[in-house]
C-alpha cells in the first residue's frame, strides 16, 4: 500500500491535494498519515497546501444549514394527521413463497444434473466420446418454450427478492 502511495506524492498538485484531503478526512492508513505528517513538517509546499486546505475545510465545516419557513414543522404535522403508518414490508412478504420458488429451481437443477449424468458414456477408450445425449427422446415441438419462459421469469423474481433482502440486511 505504502509503495503505491509514495510515488504519487509530489508528482502534481492534484495528487498532493488528494493525499492531503484523505489526511484531513482521516481516510488514509496509519502509515500514510505518518508519512504525510512528516512531509508537512519538512516540505514547505506540503505545509502551505495543508494549511490552505485545512482552512478551507474549517470554513466548510462551519457553514450553517438553511432555514425553512416558520410554519414548516406545523405543515408537516398537519399533513401526517390523516396519514397512516404503512405496515412494515417484511410483515406482508411471506418467506415461504421465496423458499417455495427456491425449492422449484433446486429440484429443476437436480433433475437436469441427474439426466445429464445418466447420458454420460463412462467408456474411457481412446476416441470414445465421454458424453452422449439421446436427442431422439426429446420432442422437437415448442412445448418447452412457455415452460422455459415462466421459469426464467420466476428465476428473475427470486434473484431480485434475494438481492433486495441482502441489501436490506446490509443496511
Partner 1 sequence: MQEAIQDADIIQRVLKGEQQAFSILVDRYQHFVFTIVLRMVNNREEAEELAQDTFVKAYRFLADFNNNSKFSTWLYSIANNTCLSFLRKKQGITISAEEGQISLLAERTGMAEKAPSRSEERSQKALMALAIQKLPAQDAELITLFYMAEQSLDEIGTITGTDTNHVKVKLFRARQKLKTIIEKYYSNELSHL
Q: Residue numbers of the site for partner 1 (CB under 8 A)?
A: 14, 17-18, 21-22, 25, 27, 52, 55-56, 59-69, 72-73, 75-77, 79-81, 83-89, 168-171
Name residue, grid cell 488514509. 28
Residue 62 CA from chain centroid, whole number: 33
Q: In the bound complex, what is the minimum distance in angstroms from residue 169's beta carbon to partner 1?
A: 8
Q: In the bound complex, what is the minimum distance in angstroms from residue 55's beta carbon to partner 1?
A: 6
Q: Of the two residues 30 and 59, which places its CB atom closer to partner 1 in the complex?
A: 59
Q: Of the two residues 10 and 105, which places its CB atom closer to partner 1 in the complex?
A: 10
Residue 18: its H or E element? helix 13-24
Q: Of the two residues 132 and 166, which places its CB atom closer to partner 1 in the complex?
A: 166
Output b/e per residue, 2-41; b: 16+ Cβ within 10 A.
eeebeeebeeeeeebeebbebbbeeebeeebeebbeebbe
Q: In the bound complex, what is the minimum distance in angstroms from residue 138's beta carbon to partner 1?
A: 43
Given a contact cutoff of 8 angstroms between Cβ atoms, the answer to whether 1 and 32 are in contact is yes
Q: Of the two residues 21 and 105, which places its CB atom closer to partner 1 in the complex?
A: 21
Amino acid at each position: 500500500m505504502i509503495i503505491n502511495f509514495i510515488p504519487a506524492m509530489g508528482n502534481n498538485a492534484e495528487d498532493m491535494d488528494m493525499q492531503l484531503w484523505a489526511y484531513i478526512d482521516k481516510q488514509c492508513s496509519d502509515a500514510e498519515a505518518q508519512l504525510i505528517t512528516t512531509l508537512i513538517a519538512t516540505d514547505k509546499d506540503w505545509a502551505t497546501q495543508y494549511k490552505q486546505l485545512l482552512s478551507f475545510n474549517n470554513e466548510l465545516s462551519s457553514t450553517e444549514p438553511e432555514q425553512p419557513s416558520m410554519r414548516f414543522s406545523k405543515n408537516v404535522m398537519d399533513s401526517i394527521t390523516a396519514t397512516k403508518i404503512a405496515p412494515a414490508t417484511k410483515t406482508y412478504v411471506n418467506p415461504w413463497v421465496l423458499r417455495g420458488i427456491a425449492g422449484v429451481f433446486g429440484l429443476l437443477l437436480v433433475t437436469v444434473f441427474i439426466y445429464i449424468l445418466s447420458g454420460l458414456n463412462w467408456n474411457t477408450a481412446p476416441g470414445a466420446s465421454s458424453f452422449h445425449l439421446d436427442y431422439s427422446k426429446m420432442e422437437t415441438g415448442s412445448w418447452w418454450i412457455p415452460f422455459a419462459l415462466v421459469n426464467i421469469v420466476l428465476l428473475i423474481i427470486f434473484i431480485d427478492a434475494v438481492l433486495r433482502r441482502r441489501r436490506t440486511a446490509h443496511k
